[in-house]
Amino acid sequence: MLRMSTLFLRTLRDDPADAEVASHRLLVRAGYIRRIAAGVYSWLPLGYITFRNIERIVREEMDAAGFQEVHFPALLPREPYEATNRWNEYGPDLFRLQDRKGGDYLLGPTHEEMFTLMVKGEYSSYKDLPLALYQIQTKYRDETRPRSGIIRGREFVMKDSYSFDLTDEGLIESYNKHRAAYIKTFDRLGLKYNIVKAVAGAMGGSGSEEFLAPCETGEDTYVLCEKCGYAANVEAMRTAVLPVDSSKVAPLQEVDTPNTPTIDSLVAVLNERFGGGYTGANTLKNVLLIADGEIISVLVPGDREVDLKRLQANLEGVQELRLFEDADFAKNPGLVKGYVGPQDAQKLGVTVYADPRIGPGTSWVTGANKKDCHALNVVNGRDFEVTNYVDAAEVIKGDACPTCSSPIIIDRAIEIGHIFQLGRKYAQALDLTVLDSDGKSRVVTMGSYGIGVSRAVAAIAEQTHDEIGLCWPAEIAPAHVHIVATGKEDNPFNVALALGEEIEKLGKTVMLDDRRDASPGVKFKDAELIGNPIIVVVGKSLADGNVEVRVRATGDRTEVALDVAAGAIVALLS
RNA sequence: CGGGGCGUAGCGUAGUGGCUAGCGCGCCUGCUUUGGGAGCAGGAGACCGGAGGUUCGAAUCCUCUCGCCCCGACCA
């Protein structure tokens, strides 16, 4: 039983000045966590109990799925990360340190290498596969900007697992097993979430989905179709390419359009000149960028911006991407700022990428590659060629769902889990092979799967809190029942203690506010701030042989006879 | 890394050149109080983030530096 008279806890009446988001604010105020450095937090007793509850649920579900737990050091040598080139690739996000002899070490940001090497060290036959291992470990990433308290820290706890299979089909099976285990886990954690198509990103690999917990303070933006259930990270959202019949479009015509370097100014001139009807959506925006040193042009409708994040995520193999600058225009006189069109791209040495909205046969108004001059009726396939289609335009609420064409909604969320079909990248780099039944050596294919355990504390807090405090699901809360004893006589305190013991015998955990010096108001405020699901008040109503039972989430209050209270409270929890 | 903001007691803050750095919460002692962050009285707690400088005099002005928060860039 957690007794508040001795519990190491000090709640704060005021919000901490350095906390903005609700989870951070409340976790600090309620005495769960304290900041140590930017993105680095300590867990106080209440916080650590909550953290361990989440960890326990994650572990139980991993074990139930048949995955085996191992544990690596957080402190790792350089060599394995050198072999996969991540010592370099990870860049400044990697916490690096040296030992007294000058040897390079790192604090593990993720452990693909170590798992791969561990399996390599023990197994060498196809008969040993499939295999899935996991660990729950503190990870370190020197984020450029840690933020939102515990949501994005530089030190955090993650459950990461890895599957090892001989075949691609086996990988898909392992992936689906993890997916199912994740669904069970997040359901038990009481999180609302969407499973969303993701881009594989720097990890490489093919299939990838994110588990996103919707909440305002989330850092990830995703789209959701409420009709058919399609969900995708904005970066991964696909746009359907619709072929258009362009045979009746008039031939390309160049027109003088002085002082129209922007879409708005162009539209105004067009409407003035041709009697209205033009909008930004009729124009073609040519955004010039430098991708790994080469000039590329990205075509989007004039009424949309290029979403650089989305573009980068969908441009395969491009490491460095930046916008064209004035200096670049100066070096390329054929490209006229404000009047660029795709018509002469090949001649000008520009590779043309187009958002799928710029489909074959579509007709546009765009720059004529001459100052103060635009071109009408510029048709894709007739007047210019697109090298590659790439989803690059910003996604806007109401855009058509790629599967059912209904309008999509856009929402923000915290990424709480990510599952990946990694493939053979790491196994290849570290030479993890097994002998197949035909005696030939084959490279193993891997999946990697993560759950942010410490982040889940914040995500649950974000989704469940209200104006007065935290409000945990029963399995997560520091205690199932929070008993408040009030009054100055001994009796309520003795009754509260006995009731607590009775509830514990029935298998539920109890926090008891047995502080003699705190006023009732303080105890009620603290109980509400701390957020255990059931609050029981032992005090005034004891005169009628009752205690008061409150449900934290709804505020419901009922008087219950003391002799049946324990049973009634336990029943409320199931 | 760019932009913005902020460092004064455990927490929240006032104090823009001049007495002993002020207040609220919290903490300690005593008395009273006990169903919604109690009252009275007394008390402890601050090298004003750090270094250097200007000045008769610096929390306050200047320079440098360290740290923190927010937006963006970045990020399995």
Residue A119 has pLDDT above 80, yes or no: yes
Q: If you count them, how many residues does chain A have?
A: 574
Which of A389, A421, A449 is the last residue in one of the domains?
Answer: A389
Same domain for A114 and A228, yes or no, is yes
Cα separation, A183 vs A417, whole angstroms? 10
Predicted confidence at residue A247, as pLDDT, reads 84
Nucleotide minimizing C1' to CA distance for residue A110: B76
The whole-number Å distance from A21's CA to B46's C1' is: 30
CATH of the domain at A426: 3.30.930.10
Predicted confidence at residue A95, as pLDDT, reads 93
Same domain for A525 and A566, yes or no, is yes
Which residues 110-169 in chain A have a CB closer than 7 A to strand B? 110, 139, 141, 143-149, 152, 158, 160
Cα separation, A143 vs A131, whole angstroms? 32
ipTM of the complex: 0.94
Predicted confidence at residue A352, as pLDDT, reads 93
The whole-number Å distance from A32's CA to B26's C1' is: 17
pLDDT > 70 in chain A, percent: 99
Predicted confidence at residue A205, as pLDDT, reads 55
Cα separation, A400 vs A240, whole angstroms? 9
Same domain for A189 and A97, yes or no, is yes
Which of A389, A419, A440 is the last residue in one of the domains?
Answer: A389
The whole-number Å distance from A18's CA to B20's C1' is: 32
Asked if A456 and A248 touch (Cβ cutoff 8 Å), the reply is no
From the Cβ of A524, is strand B under 7 Å away?
yes
Q: Could you say which nucleotides of strand B lie within 7 A of any protein CB atom?
A: 1-2, 6, 11-13, 24-26, 33-38, 67-76
* Mean pLDDT calculated for residue range A123-148: 94
Predicted confidence at residue A201, as pLDDT, reads 54
* Domain hosting residue A552, numbered range: 481-572
Confidence of residue A200 (pLDDT cuts 50, 70, 90): low
Same domain for A86 and A199, yes or no, is yes
Nucleotide minimizing C1' to CA distance for residue A308: B73
CATH of the domain at A384: 3.90.960.10
- How does the average pLDDT of chain A come out, rounded? 92
Q: At what angle do helices A45-64 and A168-188 cross, to 10 degrees?
A: 140
From the Cβ of A543, is strand B under 7 Å away?
no
From the Cβ of A21, is strand B under 7 Å away?
yes
The whole-number Å distance from A212's CA to B68's C1' is: 29
Same domain for A446 and A302, yes or no, is no
**CA angle, residues A517, A520, A525, in degrees to nearest 5:** 110
Confidence of residue A73 (pLDDT cuts 50, 70, 90): very high
Confidence of residue A206 (pLDDT cuts 50, 70, 90): low
Q: Would you give the DSSP letter of residue A154? A: S
Residue A232 lies in a domain: yes
Cα separation, A57 vs A474, whole angstroms? 12
From the Cβ of A526, is strand B under 7 Å away?
yes
From the Cβ of A184, is strand B under 7 Å away?
no
Confidence of residue A207 (pLDDT cuts 50, 70, 90): confident
From the Cβ of A487, is strand B under 7 Å away?
yes
Residue A468 lies in a domain: no
Residue A260 lies in a domain: yes
The whole-number Å distance from A32's CA to B6's C1' is: 24
Residue A147 lies in a domain: yes
Which residues 67-106 in chain A have a CB closer than 7 A to strand B? 93
Residue A404 lies in a domain: no
Residue A314 lies in a domain: yes
CB under 8 Å to A281, separation ≥6 — which residues?
A: A301, A302, A303
* Mean pLDDT calculated for residue range A334-354: 89
Same domain for A231 and A98, yes or no, is yes
Which residues 32-71 in chain A have a CB closer than 7 A to strand B? 35, 37-39
Same domain for A52 and A117, yes or no, is yes
The whole-number Å distance from A459's CA to B25's C1' is: 29
Asked if A151 and A21 touch (Cβ cutoff 8 Å), the reply is yes
Same domain for A198 and A303, yes or no, is no
CATH of the domain at A547: 3.40.50.800
Residue A397 lies in a domain: no
* Mean pLDDT calculated for residue range A4-33: 94
Same domain for A142 and A277, yes or no, is no
From the Cβ of A474, is strand B under 7 Å away?
no
Same domain for A104 and A152, yes or no, is yes
Of A292-296, A459-463, A551-555, the poorest mean pLDDT is in: A292-296
Same domain for A175 and A259, yes or no, is no
The whole-number Å distance from A373's CA to B65's C1' is: 54
Same domain for A159 and A222, yes or no, is yes
The whole-number Å distance from A514's CA to B8's C1' is: 36
The whole-number Å distance from A132's CA to B34's C1' is: 58
The whole-number Å distance from A38's CA to B50's C1' is: 19
Residue A244 lies in a domain: no
The whole-number Å distance from A10's CA to B41's C1' is: 26
The whole-number Å distance from A23's CA to B71's C1' is: 19
Number of folded domains that form chain A: 3
Residue A381, class by beta-carbon neighbours within 10 Å (0-12 exposed, 13-18 middle, 19+ buried)? middle
Which residues 277-336 in chain A have a CB closer than 7 A to strand B? 308-309, 312
